[in-house]
Structure 1
Amino acid sequence: MITALPSLLLTGGIAAAVCFAVLLVLLRTGWADAIAIDIPNHRSLHVKPIPRVGGWGVVPAALLLIVIGAPVLRWIALGALVLGAVSQIDDRRGLSARSRFIAHIAVAGAAVAASVVHIDAWLAAIAVIVVVWIVNLYNFMDGSNGLAGGMAVFGFATYAIGAAPSQPQLSLAGAAVAGAGLGFLILNFNPARVFLGDIGSVPLGFLAGAMGFWGWQHGAWPVWFPALAFAPFFADATATLLRRLARRERVWEAHREHYYQRLVQLGASHVRVALFYYSLMVGGSAIALIAMYLSPIVQWALVIAWYLTLAAVGGRIDLRWNAFQKSRAAVPR
């Protein structure tokens, strides 16, 4: 790992610089507003229009370096590019949920087929479902300044470190995506000048899932590793989905029920929410990187313990939210 560190830092630095430069040009020229603009509505946490062009910097910066330095992942990079193109069409013109879902399944299926080494067909089918879920949960969690960008930095940096001893190309790819996320984060951390947009969040979610699966299949890490590297997003999005399914709501529609959204509505600033989630990201990443070198029983015990910790954090937020709702209901109108 120590010998690989200079190349990983260089890769991440180049990706960050390219992403930042592209986005700065889009902002300075006014092209950002023409490409896609996010107009606030009753579900939004922001109050003024913000360009949704973050992906225009993140995706090319990350994918170019992956193609150059990690050719074994070129098919995954191609899948991310396809989903980025589909998402840009959705950002500009709008696509039905069915059309988006079909595209997600097709690309996820192709990525799993290109990466699979030694699992049965039924397990590969489950892997496709998981990758599709990660694509969408990353999109769901892109709603507060610094959150999705921070997850890209911490999550993919964890991939880079975890893969360094055995899969150097996968490690370099992780560094490239983490660096691109950092370049975006500079302009997205409060006050945000750009949002990620579907063109950024969807490919990032796909890369998290597809690279995680590839790493497992090629011996870079155990199957649970991606679930810890991206634990805050997994836990928040999954708990929110299950809660909405239980109420028979349309889960594909925008809402403000994620834990990070509730924290903002409870009065926390975007900065405080981002820093709080960063602490959870660092915790999960540290556990993942340490657990790789422990016995399988201890590994799974740590995974379960961390998710129970996240559940306790969510439960605490739920208690505060319920009390907040009761206090609002008690105020005379």
Structure 2
Amino acid sequence: MSVWTEFLRDKKFEIKDDYGIFLHEFKTPMFFSTEKDLMTYLGDSELKEVLFIKFKEDDNFKLFGSEKRHQDIINSTQKKKNIKSILWAIVVLVGILAYQKYFKNNEDPRDFKLWILLASIVPIINFGFEYFSYKKNNSENFDGFINNSIFVFWLNKSYKANLAYILPVILSICFGFKEILELGKSTKYNLINDWALLKSQVFLGEYYRIVSNLFVHSNMLHISAVAGALLFLSKLFLRFYNIYFLIFIFLITGIVGSFTSMIFHPDDISYGASSSVLGILGFLISFILKFSNIIPKNFINEMLTSSILFIVFLGIVGFNYIDNTANLGGFVAGLLLGATLDNRNSVEAKIKESFLKIKI
């Protein structure tokens, strides 16, 4: 019997109404007087928060998505989310047009296409993942779904989550500084010229560029994609390791990416922390595969699938825009670091200890 099943069995509460839901992350069950009230709440809430649902004729809570009638709720909510995604894409489109007109008249038109992709297609793909995860819920994968929910809950309880903002904030400050310098056209400083990975300058002795290029980003699209991905991965990374090790992986994989770019593209200019982001991603992929006996299979599958899509998307869309050689070098370096690091006992102990501290 899983932890969740025991919790549901032992939880003492009085069902005063005919309809109800049980929420994710150990929240208090909610009950409604009418089915309309229940459906209204479900339509306005995030379905990923819902674990179980109860209708009038049901004696017990049923795993949400496990019955045919639940699909009407899922389909309706999916449709609303897609409409919101389209509206959000329109808002982003208007913002980009204003940004290009008043601040960046010479912006590369490829940035415009990438913004649209990120603003509309990516959210729809995320909704699709959520949709199909509920479509496949049944009694056979009940334990996997519940264990995954507990694991995600545990990840989100990290007291070090705020530390995940350190690197994205530093990168954003550097970008803001670059933008301020560019607004003052008379300035003699240019961060791309001064900090980027100009290979010819490195060969002349400016070795600092091997690291400094990680803190230079060309535009809002570049910094938004890098900082957003870095924030997400850092939160996961810091659940198992400290901030110092995160910075170490960030720098080491970024440096490896710089060297890879210098070897295969000695005449090109490179900058940005995407090689470090992919290095951290590679490290985490090795990590979750190594600890597959602890980490739920659902989480591993979702992580691997989203990672593959992210890498393919980055490689195809940014083939002529991003230094994929540097990214590949950083990713491989992260994979190797994650595979060679032997800390199984400490991580297992940390997971088990922290689970005991979770208060329901």
TM-score by length of 2: 0.27
TM-score by length of 1: 0.29
The structure with more helix, counted as a fraction of residues: 1
| Relative contact order, higher structure (CA 8 A, sep 6+) | 1
The structure with more strand, counted as a fraction of residues: 2
